[in-house]
Structure 1
Amino acid sequence: MMLGDLLAAARTSSSGFQAWLERSDAALAADVKSAARQQGMTPTGYVRAAIADFNRFAAEEDWATLTSSLKDSDDPGTVCLLAMVHWRLTARGCAEHSPAIAHNG
């Protein structure tokens, strides 16, 4: 499967991702809920935004890290989602590209 196919699959399964995340990584699920609430979004909306933002704004190094992590994965869709959500939670950027900064800064 091509990376584009994986990203398309990830977009359609983001609501299921939140339920899975709560079972497998409660701390990250809480971070997603908190960040979503701060930005006036649902957790599913936040995950969808993370995918879109990663596609638009991630640096070449972020993409390289993501594609390297896919090589040994049995579940590349989940790896993509986790990487993109982690990236979104930790991204620092200008107010134009980061709703959290625009509202809090």
Structure 2
Amino acid sequence: MLLGDIIAHLDDEAVAAEALVQLNDLVLLGRVREASSQAGVAPGAFAARAVRLFSDGAADEDWITMLGIMGQSAEPGLACLRRMVEFALRPPERSQTCEHGH
């Protein structure tokens, strides 16, 4: 399956929800449930949003890392979802400037 096909499938809330369970990662699933609750959406919807967020905003390094992990995985679709969800769960980056206006 091509990467574009994987992303298109994971953009579906029901597919993303099922894939989250297939990850067999209770810690990650708990983090997704907490984040989805705070966002007021179902975990599957959060995962589908994570796919779109990654697709729209990930840096080149994030894509390269994900592709490398997918290449080594027996389940590249699940590896893709894991990286995209982890990306969405990252805290927002703070500006590197100081508060003195320099």
Distance in 1 (alpha carbons) for counterparts of 2:46 and 2:54? 12
User: What TM-score do you get using the length of structure 2 for normalisation?
Assistant: 0.81
Letter of the structure 2 residue corresponding to residue 62 of structure 1:
D
Q: Residues of 2 paired with 1:2 and 1:17: CA distance?
A: 17
Query: AA paired with 2:90?
Result: T
Match of 2:38 in 1: 38
Structure 2 Cα separation of the partners of residues 15 and 70 of structure 1: 19
The correspondence for 2:17, drawn from 7, 12, 15, is: 15
Identity %: 32
Match of 2:58 in 1: 58
Conserved? CA contact 2:10–2:81, under 8 Å = yes
Q: Distance in 2 between matches of 1:91 and 1:50?
A: 13
Point out the more displaced range, 11-20 or 79-88: 11-20
Separation in structure 2 between the aligned mates of residue 3 and residue 61 of structure 1, nearest angstrom:
16
- CA positional deviation for 1:28: 0.8
Decide which structure has greater helix share.
Answer: 1
Aligned residues of 1:66 and 1:83 also touching (Cα < 8 A): yes
Question: Is 1:9–1:77's contact at 8 Å kept on the other side of the alignment?
Answer: no
- Which sits farther off after the overlay, 84-93 or 57-66? 84-93
SS in structure 1 opposite 2:73?
Answer: coil
Runs of 4+ in 1 over 4 A off after TM superposition: none
Normalised by the length of structure 1, the TM-score is 0.79
1:40 Cα deviation (Å)?
1.0
Aligned pairs, number: 92
TM-align CA RMSD:
1.6
What's the offset of the Cα at 1:18?
3.1
Instruction: Return 5+ residue gaps in structure 2 as ranges.
Output: 95-102
Range that drifts further, 5-14 or 70-79: 5-14
User: Is residue 83 of structure 2 the alignment partner of residue 78 of structure 1?
Assistant: no
